Amino acid sequence: MNVRRDPRVPVTTAAGLGAVAVVVALITGGSAPVVTAIAGVVTGLFAAVSLIMAASRVTPSHRRQAGAWRWMAAGSLTWLLGVGVRPMADGTPFVLTFADLLMLVGSVLLAIGCGMSVKPPAFTRGVIRQAADAYLGAASVFAMTWVAVLGPAFRKAEDTGAFFVALALPVVCLLATCAVTPAVAASRSGNRAVGLTGVGVLTAITVAEMATALARLDGDTPPLAAGLVVPAMLLVLAVTPWVQDVRPVRPLPAALTAATPLVLVAAATVIATLYVIRGSRDAALAVVAASVVLVLLGRLFVLLVETAGMRRLVDVGEQQLRRLAENTGDVVLVCDTVGVIQEVGPGLEATYGYRPDDLAFRPIFDYIHPEDLPAVQALLDRMTDEDDGPEQEGGPEQEGGSAQEGGTRISCRFRASDGTWRPTESVAARHVRDDDLVLVTIRDLSDQVALRNQVTHLTFHDGVTGLPNRAYFEERARDVLTRRGAGGTAVIFLDLDGFTSVNDSVGHASGDHLLGQAARRLRSAVRADDTLARWGGDEFAVLLEGGGSGGTDAQTAIDLAERLVRAVSNEPFRVADRDVALTASVGVAFAEEDLPPGDLLRNADVAMSRAKELGGRRVEVFATHMHADVLRRLEIASDLQRALLENQFAIEYQPVVDLATSRVTAVEALVRWWRGGTFVPPEQFLGPAEDTGIIVPLSEWILREACREVAAWRASSWDIGLALNLSARQIMAPRFVETVADALSESGLPASALTLEVIEEMLVEDAGEMISRLSELRTLGVRLAIDDFGTGYASLAFLRQLPVDMIKIDPSFVSGLGRDDTLTLLTRTIVQLGNDLGLIVVAEGIERPEQLDLLRKMGCTRGQGYLVARPMTARGVDSLMPTSTLQNTA
């Protein structure tokens, strides 16, 4: 609401002023014109002041309303000027006076204000049509008034020209009233109250001026009642802006406002016909009737032109819609309300293979999938039953369809000419020309559905093996544990041992081919109800679902795990025209009550890692201590970096002695970790250090420190050598050979005094690159040794490929000397082999005197162990210097 004030003040003031004006005029003996003039001036002035004050208080968002009220205020002022001077002008000999012209202008200004007082609708009729309707209404009212009042007065008039001139003012007021009334009556705005009151003022002016004109023609004084009608309406107009309710109101129906002029014409025609039948003949009435006919013909012509234009627009819109549907691949069908196809668009044959004649006048239901028929039938039934108005609340809803402006969307399957069912998205809407027809556009979604299915498949399947991927496996495990519970559910993780060397040797493409072969073998080994997936890399996972008759017990899961190991290991894979033998490490974990799916998968992964640590080609069942070991390894791995930065590592040296003379010939550098004052055994942190890569900087530090220490001993005339163990990651690290050369150069240690040891498994796993790196070290003058000799897979072959200087017998052989004849024989064979090849043979793990005696008898030249000397710090090695006078023969 833009103006809200207490209405009692303006209402009381208006009533008081009007009553005082009338009473004063009557007491003073004023005539009817004088009384009318005084009342008109007072009420007109009050209306103008009230409208101007109300306009000044209107909010900025209602500027149009304020402007309309100012126009109406100007009309009230102009009209009251005319009323004020009329008593003086009535004595002139003119039929129309200056006062009448002022009142005419005031009436026009009031009409303009009434028209502006309401917001025009978004879509209005043309100006010509509005003017024609205004004229028809005014002419019809004039004709009926002529029959009732004006006709008899006209016949008594002496001067016909003066008669029509006297009617000019009321006729203009009548036209103005008919022009603005439809717009004000059809407005939805709550502000139309002032406009309706303004229309009432115009109507009152029309009636009053008509009565004044007739009185003038008869030479009489206008009646007082007719003169006071306008002041009374002006009082209402003055009060209305202060008491109006600006809430939106229901407008008159558009059909009613459009039909009102025609109703008036019909009423005027009936009355005029009866008037003529009675024998009356008036040229004026004939002229009015003729003008009405002409205006009606003009209006009919304009209507025909507009209708033709609208029809052209409809045709163009329909053609554009059809072209758009055809260009987008949509098929357009026109059906009746019972589903019979009446018309077929040209895109049908290209999309579905039918000719238009194949579908014409056949039920569309013959081409809809039976499962989708109920939804399509319900859609057509609803479109048949519903009215033109909005659907009633609580009405039936279309299953599978969504209502949209101008149509209803529904998804269904349409049968093509080849018999396949194509997924489609269709929109059904009322035909713009015939409500008994339904326009259906059908869009083929085959490509989109296929693409969506492909994306879904790629999202949950592995592109290399075709198996479900990790995301699918995790979701499936959650679903199984939620739906069936933990009973009998198990997860198996499998890793291909040595697969990394396949990628490095024959390439990733051949590696993917091998994974595809492994997937086929594993799929043939699992049960039909089990879920096999590629977990990632060279790892696979199997979900054994529990519950029901197909439940899984522990032995069934273990048996399946062993079958998987055999499926991978029993037969080599054919890759790049060569046979590649692989084994598998398998971990099994069983579901427990309240165990989250993520923990179950983690347990299986931990068990698989445990099987791999134990050498592979085995099955490990998860136990709680495995998880604890993993956590401990993670904790150690996280502390290794800090330990390296804080110098928590130390080096101990284990002497290597000549067994014949017991003289120290070399020392083997061993790393020790004191973690917060607690000794951490090497077997606990070397594995995590290798996994995390910390072994590379740690080994570099050991190399530099040991070389510096041994070089210092050699500077004291002690000809002693240094032995170091190498890890696979250290050897394969960038610039490894340069690092060794730099350490020798910085310390001054001769390359021949440094012996680097590798285990046989490292040579087997990555033979080509490993031998290449070790050969580069050999060219520096560094000596090479094979540690734990006899426990690998291809010792003799690598002795031929790689020139080594030393072999070290594994402690597992030495421990059986004198107690196990087989181990004693194997140890003697290794010593004899080394001597025959001209290699230095070092026996590790000498702990008993009888072991030392047997090794001397076998011809073993070097040894180390607790019996010979325990590992010791650099200071402990210093204490051996005075007794170590033997020349180095290592």
Please provide the DSSP assignment of 756-774 as one string.
EEEEHHHHHHTHHHHHHHH
Identify the pLDDT of residue 308.
78
Asked whether residue 495 carries a pLDDT value surpassing 90, the answer given is yes
In sequence order, the 6+-apart residues with CB closer than 8 A to the CB of 654 are 667, 668, 670, 864, 869, 870, 871, 872
The model's pTM: 0.45
Phi, psi (5° rounding) for residue 566? Answer: -65, -35
Distances, alpha carbon 206 to alpha carbons 113, 788, 848, in Å: 17, 126, 139
Cα–Cα distance between 347 and 632 in angstroms, integer? 70
Cα–Cα distance between 422 and 412 in angstroms, integer? 8
At residue 659, the 3 state secondary structure works out as coil
> Residues 270-283: what's their mean pLDDT?
70
> In angstroms, what is the C-alpha Rg of the chain?
55
Structure tokens at 177: 């009233």
Lowest-confidence pick of 152-156, 620-624, 834-838: 152-156
Asked whether residue 557 carries a pLDDT value surpassing 80, the answer given is yes
Lowest-confidence pick of 279-293, 329-343, 868-882: 279-293
At residue 679, the 3 state secondary structure works out as strand
The CB-based long-range contact list for 125-132 (8 Å cut-off, 24+ gap) reads: 125/258, 126/302, 126/306, 128/298, 128/302, 129/299, 129/302, 129/303, 130/179, 130/182, 131/179, 132/295, 132/298, 132/299, 132/302
Question: What is the tens place of the pLDDT at every residue in 727-780?
Answer: 888 888 888 899 999 999 999 999 999 999 988 777 665 566 778 888 888 889
3-state secondary structure 682-745: HHHHHHHHHHHCCHHHHHHHHHHHHHHHHHHHHHCCCCCEEEEECCHHHHHCCCHHHHHHHHHH
Identify the pLDDT of residue 795.
53
In sequence order, the 6+-apart residues with CB closer than 8 A to the CB of 786 are 757, 758, 759, 760, 763, 795, 798, 799, 804, 806, 807, 808
Asked whether residue 534 carries a pLDDT value surpassing 90, the answer given is yes
Asked whether residue 627 carries a pLDDT value surpassing 50, the answer given is yes
Asked whether residue 475 carries a pLDDT value surpassing 60, the answer given is yes
Q: Give which of 823, 833, 887, 882 is closest to 860, Cα–Cα.
A: 833
pLDDT class for 149, splitting at 50, 70, 90?
confident
> Is the torsion defined by CA of 879, 883, 885, 888 positive or negative?
negative
> Residues 34-41: what's their mean pLDDT?
77
Report DSSP state, residue 118: S
Question: What is the tens place of the pLDDT at every residue in 118-142?
Answer: 766 544 556 777 777 777 777 888 7
> Residues 267-296: what's their mean pLDDT?
72
The CB-based long-range contact list for 746-750 (8 Å cut-off, 24+ gap) reads: 746/704, 746/707, 746/708, 747/704, 747/707, 747/708, 747/710, 747/711, 748/711, 748/715, 749/707, 749/708, 749/710, 749/711, 749/714, 749/722, 750/714, 750/781
Cα–Cα distance between 201 and 181 in angstroms, integer? 12
Phi and psi based region of residue 132 (left: phi greater than 0; alpha: psi -120 to 50; beta: remaining)? alpha
* Strand pairing report for 331-336 and 341-344: antiparallel
Largest CA distance in the chain: 169
Chain mean position to CA 481: 30
Cα–Cα distance between 497 and 540 in angstroms, integer? 12
Asked whether residue 467 carries a pLDDT value surpassing 60, the answer given is yes
Give the residue carrying structure tokens 């009550």.
Answer: 593
What is the distance in angstroms between the CA of the first residue and the CA of the last residue of the chain?
110
> Is the torsion defined by CA of 796, 798, 800, 803 positive or negative?
negative
In sequence order, the 6+-apart residues with CB closer than 8 A to the CB of 714 are 720, 749, 750, 753
- Decide if 804 contacts 777 (C-beta within 8 A): no
- Decide if 281 contacts 158 (C-beta within 8 A): no
Asked whether residue 456 carries a pLDDT value surpassing 50, the answer given is yes
Question: What is the tens place of the pLDDT at every residue in 850-872?
Answer: 999 999 999 999 999 999 889 99
> Is the torsion defined by CA of 251, 254, 257, 263 positive or negative?
negative
